[in-house]
Amino acid sequence: MRVLLATDGSKEATSALRAASRLLSRTNVEAHALYVSPRPWALKSGHITRHDYQRRLAAETKRVLEDAKHVLTEEGIDALTLCESGSPAKIIMEEAVDYDLTVLGAKGSAVRSDVGLGPVASRLVEHATGCVLIGREPPGDRQARILVPLDGSDGSMKALDALGSYFDLESAEITLLHVMETLWLPQDDDDESKVEEEENDQVKIELRREAEQLLTRAQVRILAQHPGVTKLTREGVPANEILAEADQGEYDLVVVGATGATDMKHSVLGSVSSKVAWNAPCSVLVVRIPE
């Protein structure tokens, strides 16, 4: 497994390095830490010579990569350090093609917001062709808690497979979650006929049956790697229910599948995977497949 760990020296990037180190499987891991520095010719001030500017860039690059190497070594990861110059989002996107997994913090050092994703992380979540791990607070000394939402799509099934390929499952607590979307059903009101009520109830019974079958198939799919799995079914808006469970259950990682959909629905409303990556209180692995 080839893992690209992007860093800019920020505390968010350091948290991502630690989170990835504690969650990922240590079997056959080839890890590379990447820092993208500003272009040397991006000088705008007349108060510093080009030579001094380039010297400062070199010193900053060395510091960031040495700090990343130190953090990873403390976590038991021996990583090769790499440096490029230019646009961080563009460089990381290009480099990510050659890796199984790309890791980065939710926000960079230049982002002042306390919530959501920075521009680099947002672009990777939306457009990267492979797996992207948005690392947040790393797990503590307890077992890692992993939440896997499933909707039966190819994306969610591939996310389940990625879970087994990339992460240490033996020491983790795994919860499989399916959210039944029932908001499209007619809502109860005084004028609703008994026939409509019975039809709604029958639809919900069928949805619960399908949910149980889906979760059972998923459970069997990972039984070889993990002896016990918790199964949950919720009703509501998928992104909202996933985020609520991630928060209330104090999970360390949410694993979500995503497609390359670019239709009006995704453009206006945003995908479930993007909403979860933006708002989750923990690390999020986005597993993207072509539409």
Look at residue 95 in the predicted model and tell me its pLDDT: 95
| Tens of pLDDT, residues 174-233 | 999 999 886 555 555 555 566 566 666 777 788 889 999 999 888 888 877 677 789 999
Whether the per-residue pLDDT at 35 is higher than 80: the answer is: yes
CA 87 to centroid of chain Cα atoms: 22
Residue for token pair 């990625």: 162
**In angstroms, rounded to a whole number, what is the distance separating the alpha carbons of residues 74 and 106?**
22
Are 43 and 73 in contact, with CB atoms under 8 Å apart?
A: no
Query: Across the chain, what does the average pLDDT equal?
Result: 84
Section 257-286 average pLDDT: 73
Look at residue 259 in the predicted model and tell me its pLDDT: 66
Whether the per-residue pLDDT at 152 is higher than 90: the answer is: no
Cβ-count burial of 232 within 10 angstroms (0-12 exposed, 13-18 middle, 19+ buried)? middle
**In angstroms, rounded to a whole number, what is the distance separating the alpha carbons of residues 95 and 79?**
16
Look at residue 131 in the predicted model and tell me its pLDDT: 93
Q: 82 by DSSP, 3-state: which?
A: strand
The residues near 104 (Cβ < 8 Å, ≥ 6 apart) are 5, 6, 7, 13, 16, 92, 120, 121, 124, 132, 133, 134, 135
CATH number of 2-138: 3.40.50.620
Look at residue 151 in the predicted model and tell me its pLDDT: 87
Least confident stretch, 29-38, 50-59, 69-78, 186-195: 186-195
Could you tell me which residue, 226 or 72, shows the higher pLDDT? Answer: 72
Whether the per-residue pLDDT at 266 is higher than 60: the answer is: no
Are 109 and 14 in contact, with CB atoms under 8 Å apart?
A: no
Least confident stretch, 74-78, 89-93, 194-198, 241-245: 194-198
Count H helices and E strands in the chain, helices first: 9, 10
Look at residue 40 in the predicted model and tell me its pLDDT: 63
Look at residue 267 in the predicted model and tell me its pLDDT: 39
Q: Which two tokens stand for residue 248?
A: 């209330």
Q: What phi and psi values does residue 183 have, to the nearest 5 degrees?
A: -65, -20
Look at residue 52 in the predicted model and tell me its pLDDT: 82
Whether the per-residue pLDDT at 44 is higher than 60: the answer is: no
Whether the per-residue pLDDT at 34 is higher than 70: the answer is: yes
Section 236-263 average pLDDT: 86
Whether the per-residue pLDDT at 90 is higher than 60: the answer is: yes
* Nearest of 186, 153, 150 to residue 291 by alpha carbon: 153
Could you tell me which residue, 165 or 36, shows the higher pLDDT? Answer: 36
